[in-house]
Chain A
């Protein structure tokens, strides 16, 4: 097997003392970047990119991808501990991760998140190793119709599975769409809903919204409940890793499902964010524990984390073979490749064999090294929750404000963050779910562009979404999932008077 011997050659490159040291440094930096909201993986890699210009390309990319892995690992930490997702794909991790922390099981949630990140990433790397050429061709089949089908499926897998009423989920999602439409319309090139304010040109930034809705909203709720930090009961037990790992084997199906969903979304390239939401949505629907999701179920942490990391890793493939980045961080890495004189594209695998296989080998190594590092630090992270709320709350607010400011270097975003914070608090009080709003805010404009591009190419014919088995299949699946709550309600399978009678 030619690929296999190339991979072994790659390992020989990656396993040098110098490169392993770079991995460790990269992952530590990455974790720090991931923990600070607002900095984000893409910015972190961009800031540290110049550090690597003096290195040879292989060492440089090993260091940068390690920062990327580190940031992916780190994103889960604040989601679980403080309900503040630092990256779009960590939003789904908060749904069950934070409730677990409140129940004093922060260490288990962290171990679960880290382990599933690792499993997802390794699954995707194996896929890249053996199927790269085949998969690269598959990605070319994705036109606007196919992209929209995938985005539609993501929304559909979410509809009706919200905690509480389907109508409230829908209302929340629609508000998200409305927020997403602010700014420049990419298809006609005109401004929408900016009301003459220059600050609104760029629309509402995901990060500002999420830091406010989740982070500040959470603080407001905690304050109302008498300044009790509900995670304070966390006891430091050193056996967290073994305790958590013992629970994981029975979630094998969830792992596998999320791995497949994630890899597929990363390659197509739908991205890690839809992957994490879809992973969570599908697990909630099909898992035996689905009913308890949202109340602090370990499986609810495993499902999105596995999918997000499988996607994040698989996103490297379209970057290398097609030159299109699957994520913002991948886009910055792409810039790096060009500076080192490497041209990503169909010929990279042929012309730069040593570099490509060195990189793939470093993906295996980087994830193993990363897992060891973050697992060692779990007690340290969990201990943060033992700090009294009255001390930690102001610190969180400051970090949130800095995070929101960093997105754009503008004070306006800090005020927006506070507005979103109040909104998040009100949503929680009124029983409206936040996740659909966030999902629509993140994916809304992409879905809109894809839809309108598809409409342009078909000259207004909606059947374009069924013009081949690929988009047709995904769309049909999406329609079934979207209508599922309605159907099951009609069949009388759902009982309870709190279910809203749907007229739609």
Chain B
């Protein structure tokens, strides 16, 4: 028994080492990576982008979708500028890919950091991440309207909205909500990660948050947080019960609750600008295979993602529109850097 487990572990370790050292011979057709692919996360550990990238790494290695290993690194400095600038600087190296969040648009606009999505080559959109308006379950607001009314009735800035980072998606949504408050404002409190925001909300240190579903689902199931509305044009399509009596699809849209705000975040993949069409195609196919796995579908469901995907010209068109929308939203909120 022991000998057997010993042997199987040794085999596993050996196989894994071989894999890591890149000794497994590749099947030659079209372009394939000739060395390990670096997968950059322009954010810190533990957040939504980090969870997704590490999950993708797991899926690729578990299903042997690529001969060379994937190395995931976090380069979240300067609100992600560090990661994007590295992509821009290594344009000749097609062995680098990056996962994006909204800071693809918000960081250059808000800080003036010298990069743009056009400095990279778009591979594909994996999904769109949702935002939900959460409150502490103990406060028991019946719906989004009741909460908005409470904010309107209170003195200015008495209600606190917790969010990730500054001048990024969470604060942009907050600014958009404030436009519906008859001149009242939230006090926006920036934290360094979505998980932390959810916990601060449970502890009652802020009054609401706009966490992504995956960041707050555990607290929802634990009956500590209550979702009021989802910032999408349509309700979520996931009908499996998450808590005893509610599914993601039971959360009304903010629009139908009388709060006309809509925002979703891109979860997409880019490679370096010097990559050839063949190289881009390799990554497009790779992520298509990732999306087809059962693990991925399960992950999408757990995080209540909007599963819109696209690549090629369609994706570039979407990006151009999204950039314009961010510029408009940020201009409206006064978040643009001086140089813009």
Where the two chains meet, the residues of A that have a C-beta atom closer than 8 Å to any C-beta of B are: 16-18, 21-22, 25, 42, 46-47, 49-51, 53-54, 139-144, 183-191, 198, 201-203, 322-325, 328, 331-332, 334-336, 338-339, 341, 343-348, 408-409, 449, 453, 456-457, 459
Asked if B1 is an interface residue, CB under 8 A from chain A, the answer is yes
> What's the nearest-Cβ distance from chain B to residue A467, in Å?
11
Identity of the chain B residue whose Cβ is nearest the Cβ of A456 in the assembled complex: B189
- Find out whether the CB atom of B77 lies under 8 angstroms from the CB atom of A325: no
Cα separation A343 to B203 with both chains bound (whole Å): 20
Known contacts A188-B167, A323-B219, then 4 further A-B pairs from the complex at CB < 8 Å, ordered by chain A residue? A18-B9, A202-B82, A331-B44, A338-B54
- Find out whether the CB atom of B45 lies under 8 angstroms from the CB atom of A335: yes
Residues of B near A449 (CB, < 8 A) are: 190-192
Residue tally, chain B, CB below 8 Å to A: 67
Asked if B260 is an interface residue, CB under 8 A from chain A, the answer is no
Residues of B near A185 (CB, < 8 A) are: 166
Query: Which residue of A142, A184, A336, A348 has the most chain B CB atoms within 10 A of its CB atom?
Result: A184
Asked if B81 is an interface residue, CB under 8 A from chain A, the answer is yes
Residues of B near A50 (CB, < 8 A) are: 16, 57-58, 61, 69
Cα separation A449 to B205 with both chains bound (whole Å): 15
- Find out whether the CB atom of B51 lies under 8 angstroms from the CB atom of A335: yes
Which 4 residue pairs spanning A and B have beta carbons closest together? A345-B218, A202-B77, A346-B222, A201-B78
- Find out whether the CB atom of A457 lies under 8 angstroms from the CB atom of B187: yes
Interface CB pairs A-B, < 8 A, 28? A18-B5, A21-B5, A21-B9, A46-B54, A139-B199, A141-B203, A184-B79, A188-B167, A189-B168, A190-B111, A191-B78, A191-B111, A322-B202, A323-B199, A323-B218, A324-B196, A325-B195, A331-B46, A331-B50, A335-B51, A335-B54, A339-B54, A339-B55, A341-B298, A343-B218, A457-B160, A457-B205, A459-B157
> What's the nearest-Cβ distance from chain B to residue A208, in Å?
13
Cα separation A334 to B200 with both chains bound (whole Å): 18
Identity of the chain A residue whose Cβ is nearest the Cβ of B114 in the assembled complex: A198
Identity of the chain B residue whose Cβ is nearest the Cβ of A201 in the assembled complex: B78
Identity of the chain B residue whose Cβ is nearest the Cβ of A351 in the assembled complex: B221
- Find out whether the CB atom of B187 lies under 8 angstroms from the CB atom of A201: no
Q: Specify which of B58, B110, B205 is in contact with A189 (CB 8 Å cutoff).
A: B110
Residues of A near B189 (CB, < 8 A) are: 144, 453, 456-457
Cα separation A46 to B100 with both chains bound (whole Å): 20
* Contact bitstring B72-103, A, C-beta under 8 A = 1, else 0: 11010111011001000000000000000000
Cα separation A420 to B282 with both chains bound (whole Å): 43
> What's the nearest-Cβ distance from chain A to residue B300, in Å?
13
| Contact A140 to B202, CB < 8 A, known contacts A186-B166, A346-B222 | yes
- Find out whether the CB atom of B195 lies under 8 angstroms from the CB atom of A186: no
Residues of A near B337 (CB, < 8 A) are: 190
B residues 181-197 near A (Cβ < 8 Å) are 187-193, 195-196
Residues of B near A334 (CB, < 8 A) are: 45-46
Residues of B near A346 (CB, < 8 A) are: 218-219, 221-222, 224
> What's the nearest-Cβ distance from chain A to residue B96, in Å?
11
Residues of A near B202 (CB, < 8 A) are: 140, 322
Residues of A near B46 (CB, < 8 A) are: 324-325, 331, 334-335
Cα separation A214 to B90 with both chains bound (whole Å): 32
Identity of the chain B residue whose Cβ is nearest the Cβ of A17 in the assembled complex: B2
Cα separation A18 to B72 with both chains bound (whole Å): 28
- Find out whether the CB atom of B45 lies under 8 angstroms from the CB atom of A54: no
Residues of B near A183 (CB, < 8 A) are: 77-78
Identity of the chain B residue whose Cβ is nearest the Cβ of A322 in the assembled complex: B199
Identity of the chain A residue whose Cβ is nearest the Cβ of B1 in the assembled complex: A17
Asked if B274 is an interface residue, CB under 8 A from chain A, the answer is no
Cα separation A409 to B71 with both chains bound (whole Å): 13
- Find out whether the CB atom of B79 lies under 8 angstroms from the CB atom of A189: yes
Identity of the chain A residue whose Cβ is nearest the Cβ of B223 in the assembled complex: A346
Q: Specify which of B12, B167, B192, B302 is in contact with A343 (CB 8 Å cutoff).
A: B302
Identity of the chain B residue whose Cβ is nearest the Cβ of A328 in the assembled complex: B45
B residues 211-238 near A (Cβ < 8 Å) are 217-219, 221-222, 224
Cα separation A47 to B55 with both chains bound (whole Å): 13
| Contact A198 to B9, CB < 8 A, known contacts A332-B45, A335-B46, A453-B189 | no
* Contact bitstring B272-292, A, C-beta under 8 A = 1, else 0: 000000000000000000000
Residues of B near A322 (CB, < 8 A) are: 199, 202
Asked if B259 is an interface residue, CB under 8 A from chain A, the answer is no
Residues of B near A17 (CB, < 8 A) are: 1-2, 5-6
- Find out whether the CB atom of A201 lies under 8 angstroms from the CB atom of B82: yes
- Find out whether the CB atom of A189 lies under 8 angstroms from the CB atom of B166: yes
Cα separation A118 to B198 with both chains bound (whole Å): 33
Cα separation A345 to B51 with both chains bound (whole Å): 15
Cα separation A21 to B167 with both chains bound (whole Å): 49
Cα separation A236 to B21 with both chains bound (whole Å): 38
Residues of B near A198 (CB, < 8 A) are: 81, 85, 113-114
Asked if B13 is an interface residue, CB under 8 A from chain A, the answer is yes
Identity of the chain A residue whose Cβ is nearest the Cβ of B206 in the assembled complex: A457
Asked if B165 is an interface residue, CB under 8 A from chain A, the answer is yes
Asked if B317 is an interface residue, CB under 8 A from chain A, the answer is no
Query: Which residue of B69, B71, B205 has the most chain A CB atoms within 10 A of its CB atom?
Result: B205
Cα separation A325 to B79 with both chains bound (whole Å): 20
- Find out whether the CB atom of A142 lies under 8 angstroms from the CB atom of B187: no
Query: Which residue of A21, A188, A198, A343 has the most chain B CB atoms within 10 A of its CB atom?
Result: A198
Cα separation A211 to B61 with both chains bound (whole Å): 34
> What's the nearest-Cβ distance from chain A to residue B226, in Å?
14
Residues of A near B195 (CB, < 8 A) are: 323-325
Residues of B near A331 (CB, < 8 A) are: 44-46, 50
Residues of A near B54 (CB, < 8 A) are: 46, 49, 332, 335-336, 338-339
Residues of A near B9 (CB, < 8 A) are: 18, 21-22, 25
> What's the nearest-Cβ distance from chain B to residue A222, in Å?
33
Cα separation A409 to B114 with both chains bound (whole Å): 20
Residues of B near A25 (CB, < 8 A) are: 9, 13
Cα separation A295 to B142 with both chains bound (whole Å): 64
Cα separation A144 to B200 with both chains bound (whole Å): 9
Cα separation A50 to B191 with both chains bound (whole Å): 30
Residues of B near A345 (CB, < 8 A) are: 217-219, 221-222
> What's the nearest-Cβ distance from chain B to residue A66, in Å?
13
Q: Specify which of B12, B51, B81, B302 is in contact with A54 (CB 8 Å cutoff).
A: B12
Residues of B near A348 (CB, < 8 A) are: 218
- Find out whether the CB atom of A46 lies under 8 angstroms from the CB atom of B72: yes
- Find out whether the CB atom of B203 lies under 8 angstroms from the CB atom of A143: yes
